[in-house]
Amino acid sequence: MKNNDKQNQMANAIRFLSIDAIEKANSGHPGLPMGAADIATVLYTKFLAHDPKKPNWPNRDRFVLSAGHGSMLLYSVMYLSGYEDVTIDEIKNFRQLGAKTAGHPEYRHINGIETTTGPLGQGIANAVGMALGERIMNARWGDLIDHYTYVLAGDGCLMEGISQEAIAFAGHMKLNKLIVFWDNNQISIDGAITISDNTDQCARFEACQWNTIKVDGHDQDAIAKAIEKAKTSDKPTLISCRTTIGFGSPHKAGTNKAHGSPLGKEEVAETRKSLGWESEPFVIPAEILDNWRLAGLNAAKKRQEWDKKLEALDPQKRAEFERLMRGDLPGNFDSVINDYKKKLAADQPKVATRVASQMALEVINGAVDETIGGSADLTGSNNTKTSQTNDITPEDFSGRYIHYGIREHAMAAIMNGLSLYGGIIPYSGTFLCFSDYARPAMRLSSLMGIRVIYVMTHDSIGLGEDGPTHQPVEHLASLRAIPNHLVFRPADVVETAECWQLALKSKTTPSTLALTRQGLPTLRKNYDEDNLCALGAYELMTASDEAKVTIFASGSEVEIAVKARNELENKGIPTRVVSVPCFELFEHQVESYQTALIGTAPVKIAIEAAIRQGWDRFIGRDGVFIGMHSFGASGPIDALYKHFGITPEAVVAAAEAKL
Amino acid sequence: MKNNDKQNQMANAIRFLSIDAIEKANSGHPGLPMGAADIATVLYTKFLAHDPKKPNWPNRDRFVLSAGHGSMLLYSVMYLSGYEDVTIDEIKNFRQLGAKTAGHPEYRHINGIETTTGPLGQGIANAVGMALGERIMNARWGDLIDHYTYVLAGDGCLMEGISQEAIAFAGHMKLNKLIVFWDNNQISIDGAITISDNTDQCARFEACQWNTIKVDGHDQDAIAKAIEKAKTSDKPTLISCRTTIGFGSPHKAGTNKAHGSPLGKEEVAETRKSLGWESEPFVIPAEILDNWRLAGLNAAKKRQEWDKKLEALDPQKRAEFERLMRGDLPGNFDSVINDYKKKLAADQPKVATRVASQMALEVINGAVDETIGGSADLTGSNNTKTSQTNDITPEDFSGRYIHYGIREHAMAAIMNGLSLYGGIIPYSGTFLCFSDYARPAMRLSSLMGIRVIYVMTHDSIGLGEDGPTHQPVEHLASLRAIPNHLVFRPADVVETAECWQLALKSKTTPSTLALTRQGLPTLRKNYDEDNLCALGAYELMTASDEAKVTIFASGSEVEIAVKARNELENKGIPTRVVSVPCFELFEHQVESYQTALIGTAPVKIAIEAAIRQGWDRFIGRDGVFIGMHSFGASGPIDALYKHFGITPEAVVAAAEAKL
């Protein structure tokens, strides 16, 4: 043993809380908490700036358990440190329905969990976002914000592609206050890592401009020295901690048998013997618990000092800081948007909605300092940069624009980290088709319920010649399918402004704005103080008489709906048009509004240059759908819309055929 | 200039075909073809084993343009080499609707395009699959299959996370016949690469066990030497080719202005001057074209020699080889499946469908040698290994099982490469929830129309304690949204066998099998020679009288439907049950079958432990949906189904409330 008795006891407290909780739940992953207990002990008792009684103070160090399956490690150290949400009863209730101690760590379940982890590789990318957030806030607030971000990542996290995107970005940005512990246990579920990988991880991180350190992951003093050394680097640091998975289990340690199942009654007993742990399940000897709690109290001193700093701030600055931490928008936000809408009503510009988005952002970024923009190397196409957003660079974090590189997945996960960090509203873009690359992180934005705004341009076959690899057809449906995710598809410059307003005001729901490459006329002719897009769907044009046809459409196809409606009206067929910028918000309306809006016109038609899935909600099984029934094709936009039959003429013909 | 005149002229032929086609289309990406023309010239005229007149001969070298936006490079070299599908008229028709020369290279558009590229990083991972396919076929067929796989990748491909997964896998597997040219032009769309990246790519590849070589990408002799050297390595090789994007353009070369837009009339004229190219657009001087065509004819000699080898094979072996190349299944395949279904009818096992899948695979792998299984490090959970599938290792490619590592995205793209390679039917698994990680590659399976089988287990909240990060709720809908993708969700062991049969027989459509973690009873009590799942949906249980209720369900919820139906029948309410294993195949049925199956029962109920989206097709807007309306939760399975109200009791109550 490299550690002294106290060090071992502290770590064993983590091990046995984990072992016993997993045993009781008859479900869970003991291997990681047992293997990484020494690392967690060093970090939590000697380094982490945290306050168990006030887990959310803004200048705390962040700790992300990227290997989320090892959730009992986190619950154990939180219980031992004195976090109030993690009682011994919660530990005993691990993985039961309604427990705060869910199978994987979930944001908002426990005050002090920084992010939801489990899908591998996400946590390390979230942490890169947090470490970036720290630098951005430091540039704005000086030493009020100045701390470290720590990560515990497993082999799985490092094998996932997102980790490469995240570490290359972090190395490029010189995020030297980011310290990653690699739980280097050389085991994955299928067996030894060497059956699927021979990567020299330290060399790989060094190639990405990281500092690396190798230590014995069961030598607490060595771990402490490595952390001290990491703090002197001008680069982010990977600490490779060689550990034994399931450390202490006589028959399962060092094998994949320790990974994902309870050890079993007998093996638990033998592990108690081998580690000299005599306590009953869920009982931590008083002296050990005292040592842990004392460490928690000591760590809290930093928070107390920081409170004084905050109190010393100019009252107005302090109010502003506190507003940011609450995630509230500036008080004049709505009036700024309304002034802008008035101007649009006067100007009636014909622009692509991606350009309309940039116009809205120009107004928003002028009024809301906390927006931080970006793009996955499509800045000019996504129209995400405005006059206020200078580049954020490794030398200067005072800007407001991030070049994420060609890294859609990490971009989304880094935005999650920025949003979780606090004081920042991240938005960034790629092509809608490539939302697929970002999808696992977009799902987590939704599951965590955080404000992240995805600017997804080139939203249909309307992008033209790039062809089916770049033309989304299923993406609107597949994003609408994600719970707690607002998918906006505005039809013109006014709706685009309204959708941005809604996205910014949705503090607990991420948003995707699907935007066109092609120009669109202003359809909302008159200024309306109400945000009509907030209804999800609304009547854009009435019928001249009792409607025989209702046409529902979103985005660029609303223009087609309007043309078809006018033609049908000319033919004496009363026709109304319903614009549907957001399915999800429509579902939030009262039943009576929904029923009335869908209406009773005998012919219901939906138009969207995408697949039908989801539209039956509006038009029923017998409704007519004008849209895509296959992948797209390469060609100029007009040829494509004609080829796929998405034209006013096709709508008119379909209506007449049905009447 | 480092090259002689002939070398320059050969490369300039590529450059000007590309420039002029893009100019005429007024759309496209000239920068890459201009920058990589020297690389392509060396490869196509000196190394590539190919036959322009017979592009699909099995032992050809493969070339993958991973940076698919540079499609004109590929079309140009194919035209110059003499590929019959690429006429000068096709070049002139670049990016027009109906042209073979689509915006990005599309598989099946042109005989000789190996894979569809454009979404960055996919091509390099496809190529890893092809290089692996080559080794697998070599292990089976000796020197009948023995060739190289070449890739041209850009900075974008290398920044995407999937590239890390793919190169780590390739390095691990020692795929030394894989040679990647990196078009190292230091430019991306937003500007210099250094605004988003400082990765030492060669060091990164070396960390992943690759050989690396650096050359001047405009020195054809140096490139040739590098290829020769790469061929002597026992590792895959990255050749870093330092190039100038838009080479030859006086004002745009070396900048992002050359990347994604036509050069413009004036700049094209100046580029002609600067490179000394005097020909009219689309005219290649006879001597230069002759040199290119001669190189194509020379390369074809290898094909002629190989034909003799094939002819010399034992006739039975040759017939087998040709069957594999056609992608046909063995002649006895259907009878093997039917025998197995008879056995099931006798045994009536109660197993999880993931276990049923393994049972089916045990039968299939015994009868079909060309299936190659695998898992993204969840072998024991995905149940993808059978008695016939020994591991494929870097030392021995004669096995049939691939440990892809924790790399879902590359796994899917590598399977695309294996399927495209020919003679192999790849299947592999992960959890359904993590299909999100693989989605961009799954979309390409569908767009290309190739046989890849995704085994996605743990397909609902039924997985229990791992909680919402691991519980799919939107994934069935979002996968069903992808055109040309069969999503199967079998209800029992018989349906699982039938779905596997259908997946294997679908030569031009990929399949996903969504499978349970939890045990399910056999519901199909009697042997039926017909594959009922081929109907997509079918009546599993009739009503005792004219149906008042029809219950539609898929997968694990069919058991709930059956229980509810029996209870309703007990209460005197005639109720039928429709099992819906595959939405897509149901849509392929004649209208009359669809209408009759949906039927006229006044109450229609659908049950699926997932979101409603898509089910309105069956139950209409007024139907009852019993399923998920949010993300899941962590807890034991029974508690979860009860908590979310997915029970026979809830179905019965809903039916009674509606009647």
Q: Dump pLDDT digits (tens) for A405-440.
A: 999 999 999 999 999 999 999 999 999 999 999 999
For residues A314-334, give the mean pLDDT.
Answer: 98
Chain A, residues 617-636, CB within 8 A of chain B, namely 617, 620-621, 629-631, 633-636
- Multiple choice CATH, B535-658, 3.40.50.2000, 3.40.228.10, 3.40.50.920, 3.10.580.10: 3.40.50.920
Is B259 annotated for ligand binding?
A: yes
- Chain B positions in Cβ-Cβ contact with residue A584 (cut-off 8 Å): none
Whether the CB of A478 is below 8 Å from some CB of chain B: the reply is yes
Interface probe with B: pick from A23, A107, A169, A197, most Cβ of B within 10 Å: A197
Whether the CB of B159 is below 8 Å from some CB of chain A: the reply is yes
Interface probe with A: pick from B24, B259, B436, most Cβ of A within 10 Å: B436
Q: Which residue has 């060669």 as its token pair? A: B202
Longest Cα–Cα distance of chain B, Å, equals 91
Does the predicted model carry a pTM greater than 0.95? yes
What count of CB pairs under 8 Å joins A to B? 340
Q: Do domains B333-520 and B535-658 have the same CATH topology?
A: yes
Residue B637: closest C-alpha in chain A: A97
Residue B642: closest C-alpha in chain A: A97
Sorted by where each begins, the domain ranges of chain B are 5-305, 333-520, 535-658
Would you put residue A458 in left (φ > 0), alpha (ψ -120 to 50) or beta?
Answer: left
Is residue B408 annotated as part of the catalytic site, yes or no?
yes
Distances (CA, A) of B174 to B96, B131, B133, B237, B371: 42, 10, 13, 10, 22
B145, B137 in Cβ contact below 8 A? yes
A107 CA: distance to closest CA in chain B (Å)? 11
Mean predicted lDDT score pLDDT of chain A: 98
Q: Which of A499, A505, A507 is nearest to A536 (CA)?
A: A499
Report chain A's terminal Cα–Cα distance, integer Å. Answer: 85
Query: Which one of B90, B408, B495, B498 is the catalytic residue?
Result: B408
Residues contacting residue B408 through CB under 8 Å, at least 6 positions apart: B376, B430, B434, B435, B437, B438
Q: What's the rounded Cα separation, in Å, for the pair A374 and B195?
A: 12
pLDDT of the residue at A621: 86
Burial of B600 (0-12, 13-18, 19+ CB in 10 A): exposed
Q: What's the rounded Cα separation, in Å, for the pair A576 and A400?
A: 43
Residues contacting residue B401 through CB under 8 Å, at least 6 positions apart: B372, B373, B374, B384, B385, B389, B390, B391, B392
A535 pLDDT higher than 60: yes
pLDDT digits (tens, 9 = 90+) for A366-400: 999 999 999 999 999 999 999 999 999 999 999 99
A81, A8 in Cβ contact below 8 A? no
Torsion from C-alpha of B534, B535, B540, B541, nearest 10 degrees: -160
Whether the CB of A95 is below 8 Å from some CB of chain B: the reply is yes
Check B27 against A464: CB less than 8 A apart: yes
Phi, psi of B212 (to 5 degrees): -130, 150
As assigned by CATH, the class of the A533-658 domain is: alpha beta
- Pick from A195, A630, A635: which is nearest to B403 by CB? A195
Q: What's the rounded Cα separation, in Å, for the pair A478 and B239?
A: 39
Whether the CB of A577 is below 8 Å from some CB of chain B: the reply is no
In the structure, what pLDDT confidence band is assigned to residue A87 with cuts at 50, 70 and 90?
A: very high
Would you put residue B335 in left (φ > 0), alpha (ψ -120 to 50) or beta?
Answer: alpha
Q: Which of B232, B155, B158 is nearest to B189 (CA)?
A: B155
Whether the CB of B433 is below 8 Å from some CB of chain A: the reply is yes
Interface probe with A: pick from B158, B196, B604, most Cβ of A within 10 Å: B196
Alpha carbon of residue B341 to chain centroid = 30
The residues pairing with B240 across neighbouring beta strands, listed in sequence order, are B182, B214
- Please give the share of chain A, as a percent, with pLDDT higher than 90: 99
pLDDT digits (tens, 9 = 90+) for A240-294: 999 999 999 999 999 999 999 999 999 999 999 999 999 999 999 999 999 999 9
Query: Over B31-70, what HEC string results?
Result: HHHHHHHHHHHHHHHHHCCCCCCCCCCCCCCEEEECCHHH
Check A207 against B204: CB less than 8 A apart: yes
The residues pairing with B183 across neighbouring beta strands, listed in sequence order, are B241
Residues contacting residue B225 through CB under 8 Å, at least 6 positions apart: B215
Q: Which residue has 């008159």 as its token pair? A: A526
A1 pLDDT higher than 60: no
Any idea which residues of A carry the catalytic annotation? 408
Check A160 against B406: CB less than 8 A apart: yes
pLDDT of the residue at B557: 98
Check B406 against A155: CB less than 8 A apart: yes
Homologous superfamily (CATH) for B5-305: Thiamin diphosphate (ThDP)-binding fold, Pyr/PP domains (3.40.50.970)
Burial of A619 (0-12, 13-18, 19+ CB in 10 A): buried
Alpha helices (H) in B148-262, listed in sequence order: 155-159, 161-172, 201-207, 220-230
pLDDT of the residue at B621: 86
Residue A614: closest C-alpha in chain B: B613
Q: Which residues of A are annotated as a binding site for thiamine diphosphate?
A: 69, 118-120, 156, 185, 259, 434
- Please give the share of chain A, as a percent, with pLDDT higher than 70: 100
A136 CA: distance to closest CA in chain B (Å)? 17
Check A469 against B444: CB less than 8 A apart: yes
Please give the ipTM for the structure prediction.
Answer: 0.98
pLDDT of the residue at B523: 97
- Pick from A164, A188, A437: which is nearest to B440 by CB? A437
As assigned by CATH, the class of the A333-520 domain is: alpha beta
Phi, psi of A597 (to 5 degrees): -70, -40
Whether the CB of A338 is below 8 Å from some CB of chain B: the reply is no
pLDDT digits (tens, 9 = 90+) for B40-56: 999 999 999 999 999 99
For residues A174-178, give the mean pLDDT.
Answer: 98
Is B434 annotated for ligand binding?
A: yes
Q: What's the rounded Cα separation, in Å, for the pair B196 and B182?
A: 18
Q: Which of A266, A640, A230, A323 is nearest to A466 (CA)?
A: A640
Name the 3-class secondary structure at B25. helix
Whether the CB of A103 is below 8 Å from some CB of chain B: the reply is yes
B168 CA: distance to closest CA in chain A (Å)? 6
A374, A401 in Cβ contact below 8 A? yes
Check B207 against A196: CB less than 8 A apart: no
- Chain B positions in Cβ-Cβ contact with residue A416 (cut-off 8 Å): none
In the structure, what pLDDT confidence band is assigned to residue A486 with cuts at 50, 70 and 90?
A: very high
Which residues of chain B, if any, have pLDDT below 50? Answer: none
